[in-house]
Chain A
Amino acid sequence: MAIEPHDTVVCDSRTATSKSPVFHRAAQMSRRELLVWLACVLLANQVVRLPAAFAVEELYAHVASRSVFYYLGWYAVFRLLLDAGAARRPATGLDVAVAASICLMNVLPAASISWIGITAAAIYVLATSNGDGKMRAAAAVMLALSFNGLWGPKLFGVFAYYLLRADAALVGWTLAASQPDVNWHETIITAAGGHSIMVYGPCSSFHNISLGLLCWVSLTKLARSTWLRSDLAVGLAVCASVVALNTVRLYLMALSPNNFAYWHDGFGQHLFAWGMMLTVLGISLAGVFRAGRTT
């Protein structure tokens, strides 16, 4: 059997017998290349939006609207797939059939199809990783991407009202401990002077948790393939920091109309976004480096 360099494996009649099931016959492409092609199609389906009249500004705006953690996640997926040892084996017919099916799904018009495709790809990679740590790590990052893109928002949508009430209660309790004449009812918080705010979905603490978790999973899996017990503590710290920062922001917005204008519509919203991003990044990196020193 002739072995060519890099990713192409020649399979002759001695290795693919006529009795082998079609799905188990080796294709002349490595799993790694096949999975990279699949990842390219899935990423293109999400990032590329060919705008009307091919306006470059619209395309740029669409690409720039994604969080940096989203691109970090995709970088982690490609990096891990390219490094996975088990992925150097030839792709089977089943691998080709599954990858092609997922790619074909992407031409369906529903916006959520691409995320369902990523979830399906992650489950397949996990199921066929044969214990390869980097393949499992790539699958974990894909699951984190799909949770951030689809499943998290859908879950939030179903339980939004109850989560928003929890947010309002947290902010209301914090305000009441530090300010006079504060009360809250369901998702409306009223401070002294009659200034009221209502907590909507985009302002919820829980809205950014899935993005924080995506950053944490991506950095952790890039550093090492295995999970450690301490990773759970780091993940919880990421969640807690997101909730705490958002609560502080809502607290400040509830103080007065001027504060609301600054933190909701003014420069404060950018400060908050950057602060949250750097905090999540810092906690995730601290977790990675701390585990690296102790293992």
Chain B
Amino acid sequence: MSALGLRLLFACLLLATLASKMHASYAGQADVGAALVSLLADKQLAPQLDRSTQLGASVRFEAPGCHGTVHVMPTSLSLEVTPLFSDVAKAGYALRFVYLDRTWRTEERMAMWGEWLKWKALSLWGLGPYVTVPTALIVAAPAGCRFVEDIDWRPVWHESRLSAARVRN
């Protein structure tokens, strides 16, 4: 291939890169909190933002058949807020750690990062329904709250729900 041909090729690749950045600038950041609110609203649970805990903004709602308010907090996958769990995990409350399609009863950081890695690798090939933002959910619910145990949290990370949340914001 001639030098001119190669220069034209790479000039086109440079322009394609710039064009893809133009598209990316309108995409915005994935808002797991907004997607969470929309999921709970779809289930007619009347979610409300709560900024009273030291864990930052959380979403709370009253679940049918549960003796107490349920709190759901989006948080980094590194679970840096572990020392503040006592602020929400009051007596009689149980914590669940939810990320993509798995739920844990205790902090399992390595397992959560393993899930991130798995779905991230799949997403590079266009596989999997999730947007692999490194944001998990901490669900604090009264012990024995079966309603919360049956909630399917996976749609929070679905591409369609996160895109819709982005547009609304």
Contact = CB atoms under 8 A, between A and B. Distances in A.
A106 B80 contact: no
Given A198-B83, A201-B76, A45 B21 contact: yes
A157 B78 CA distance: 6
Nearest to A185: B83
Given A41-B13, A110-B123, 6 more contacts: A7-B3, A27-B3, A40-B10, A45-B17, A50-B22, A100-B9
Contacts of B79: 161
Given A50-B18, A164-B80, A185-B83, A96 B24 contact: no
Interface of B: 1-3, 6-7, 9-10, 13-14, 16-27, 76-80, 82-84, 109-110, 113, 123-124, 134
Contacts of A28: 1-3, 6
Nearest to B2: A28
A107 B16 contact: yes
Contacts of A37: 6-7, 10, 14
A40 B11 CA distance: 10
A165 B50 CA distance: 28
Interface of A: 7-8, 27-29, 33-34, 37-38, 40-41, 44-45, 48-52, 91, 96, 99-100, 103-104, 106-110, 157-158, 160-161, 164, 185-188, 198, 200-201
B6 A44 contact: no
A7 B3 CA distance: 9
B80 A158 contact: no
Contacts of A48: 18, 21
A144 B64 CA distance: 53
Contact of A103 (B13, B82, B110): B13
B63 to A, nearest CB: 29
Contacts, number: 103
Contact of A50 (B3, B25, B76, B84): B25
Contacts of A110: 123-124
B17 A44 contact: yes
A146 B20 CA distance: 21
Given A28-B1, A109-B24, A200 B110 contact: no
Residue with the highest number of chain A CB atoms closer than 10 Å, among B2, B13, B16, B76: B13
A50 B21 contact: yes
A186 B2 CA distance: 62
A48 B78 CA distance: 30
24 contacts: A7-B3, A27-B1, A41-B10, A41-B14, A44-B21, A48-B21, A49-B25, A50-B21, A50-B25, A103-B10, A103-B13, A107-B17, A107-B20, A109-B24, A157-B78, A158-B78, A158-B109, A158-B110, A160-B78, A161-B109, A186-B82, A186-B83, A198-B83, A201-B76
B2 to A, nearest CB: 5
A186 B3 CA distance: 60
Given A28-B6, A52-B25, A185-B83, A157 B124 contact: no
A222 to B, nearest CB: 25
Nearest to A30: B3
Contact of A200 (B20, B80, B123, B134): B80
A91 B77 CA distance: 44
A48 B25 CA distance: 10
A157 B113 contact: yes
B137 to A, nearest CB: 17
Contact of B6 (A96, A158, A198, A200): A96
Given A41-B14, A45-B17, A50-B18, A34 B83 contact: no
A97 B19 CA distance: 22
B91 to A, nearest CB: 20
A40 B18 CA distance: 11
Contacts of B123: 110
B16 to A, nearest CB: 5
Contacts of A161: 78-80, 82, 109
A198 B82 contact: no
Contact of A187 (B16, B20, B80): B80
A104 B134 contact: no
Contact of A41 (B2, B17, B23): B17
Contacts of A103: 10, 13-14, 16-17
Nearest to A45: B17
B27 A52 contact: no
